[in-house]
């Protein structure tokens, strides 16, 4: 009992100790998730300035793959950061069309928000395959009107479906491949 009380007092002291020790609430996390969604669906430079840190960094091999058009020797090597600063994000994302961003789930701990989302491809040239993704958003507490800024993003989504929707990726679709994929025998089409 005594130990529990001391632990609780210790936690309370930590929570009051300073900005670095604040913890995201459910509504803070929802706000952070919505803010990021807005940068995809309703982008503006003012929004990016308000909700992202100056040294914002975004890692997404899914986006790198799209930038490379699926080519192995493209300009954006897999594993490299897609955007390495706020200015870089604004130049890249600011040039994109609005992309529908539907939030399906939000989870969080004290400083990180994880969300699951779905999109439809505005550039689709054929009956569309849905695109679902998962994003981890690391945040910084700064207080004020917009207390949690997004600092680092790890984002992956079904870029295979995205490239299909754009007509860049043209799969070989026949009964044999469908059957083998359903049985989960191989991820590698060339083994079918």
Ligand X SMILES: *[C@@H]1O[C@H](CO)[C@@H](O)[C@H](O)[C@H]1NC(C)=O
Residues that bind ligand X (CB under 6 A): 34, 37-38, 41-42, 101, 172, 174, 176-177, 192
Kindly state the smallest distance separating residue 31's Cβ from ligand X, in Å: 11
Which of 159, 155, 177 has its CA nearest to residue 168?
Answer: 159
Give the sign of the dihedral formed by CA 13, CA 16, CA 17, CA 23. positive
The residue number with the shortest CB distance to ligand X is 37
120 class by beta-carbon count within 10 Å (0-12 exposed, 13-18 middle, 19+ buried): middle
Contacts (Cβ under 8 Å, ≥6 apart) of 48: 39, 86, 89, 90, 93, 94
Kindly state the smallest distance separating residue 178's Cβ from ligand X, in Å: 10
Kindly state the smallest distance separating residue 98's Cβ from ligand X, in Å: 8
Kindly state the smallest distance separating residue 35's Cβ from ligand X, in Å: 8
CA 162 – CA 178 distance, rounded (Å): 19
Among residues 3 and 176, whose Cβ is nearest to ligand X? 176
Helix (H, G, I), strand (E, B) or coil at 136: strand
Among residues 73 and 174, whose Cβ is nearest to ligand X? 174
Among residues 22 and 51, whose Cβ is nearest to ligand X? 51
Among residues 37 and 133, whose Cβ is nearest to ligand X? 37
């Amino acid at each position: 009992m005594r130990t529990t009380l001391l632990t609780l007092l210790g936690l309370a002291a930590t929570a009051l100790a300073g900005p670095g020790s604040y913890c995201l609430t459910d509504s803070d996390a929802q706000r952070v998730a919505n803010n990021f969604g807005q940068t995809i669906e309703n982008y503006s430079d003012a929004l990016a300035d308000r909700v992202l840190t100056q040294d914002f960094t975004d890692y997404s091999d899914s986006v790198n793959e799209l930038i490379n058009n699926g080519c192995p020797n493209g300009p954006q090597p897999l594993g490299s950061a897609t955007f390495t600063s706020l200015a870089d994000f604004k130049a890249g994302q600011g040039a994109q069309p609005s992309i529908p961003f539907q939030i399906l789930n939000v989870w969080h701990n004290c400083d990180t928000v994880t969300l699951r989302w779905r999109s439809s491809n505005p550039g689709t040239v054929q009956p569309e395959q849905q695109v679902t993704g998962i994003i981890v958003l690391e945040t910084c507490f700064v207080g004020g009107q917009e207390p949690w800024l997004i600092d680092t993003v790890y984002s992956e989504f079904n870029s295979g479906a995205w490239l299909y929707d754009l007509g860049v990726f043209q799969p070989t679709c026949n009964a044999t491949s469908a059957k083998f994929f359903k049985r989960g025998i191989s991820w590698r089409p060339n083994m079918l």
